[in-house]
Amino acid sequence: DWTDYITKIPPQILERIRTDQKSLTMDPTNNEPNLTEEEYQALQELRNDTSLVIKPADKGSALVIMDRTDYVHEALHQLQDHQYYMQLQEPIYPEMTNLINKILTTLVQKKIITKKQANHIKGTDTPRPCYFYLLPKIHKPPQTWTVPYQIPAGRPIVSDCGSESYGIHPPKKPLQKND
């Protein structure tokens, strides 16, 4: 029992712990800011400047601030590569939602998965389109960039958070009948 250890701690140490404990604040809103007022203002100005795009670098922990037109140039450069991307005339997620739901219903009826598993896979009732963005590859040699020394290539990311297929992923462990 852990309470036995408290009785073995010398009283002066216990008192010191209690004093320290009282001085610690658990409310993070009372912390002192780590930015000066000028730094905070500069950060707000950068954040609100619509001519800039701020993204984490593809590798490392750098933050990349790019001119929006350069960022869009790289995005269009990638999206126009028809080997990987095809422009759709309209969103497909409403149609895909219906298809996924039909497949899940069939799997439940055939007792391949449980209703609970189907509900987990199903995702949200109001899916949203996937979100495409780029992480600048500033670690690559500048002479190999899309526009050498000016516009770095970007790693394309398609975020499906909240999409119709968000719940579909390989399970961390094999599905069990009683899951």
What pLDDT, on the 0 to 100 scale, is given for residue 34? 87
What pLDDT, on the 0 to 100 scale, is given for residue 32? 80
Give per-residue pLDDT as tens, 90-147.
988 888 888 999 999 999 999 999 998 898 888 777 888 888 999 999 999 999 999 9
Rounded to 10°, the helix 93-109/115-122 angle is 170
- Please answer whether residues 104 and 174 qualify as being in contact, where contact means their C-beta atoms are separated by less than 8 angstroms: no
Q: Which pTM was predicted? A: 0.68
Give per-residue pLDDT as tens, 149-176.
999 999 999 988 888 888 777 666 665 5
Give the Cα-Cα-Cα angle 55, 60, 64 (nearest 5 degrees): 25
What pLDDT, on the 0 to 100 scale, is given for residue 20? 81
Rg (CA), the chain: 26
What pLDDT, on the 0 to 100 scale, is given for residue 172? 62
What pLDDT, on the 0 to 100 scale, is given for residue 150? 94
Average pLDDT over residues 41-46: 94
Give per-residue pLDDT as tens, 54-83.
999 999 999 999 999 999 999 999 999 999
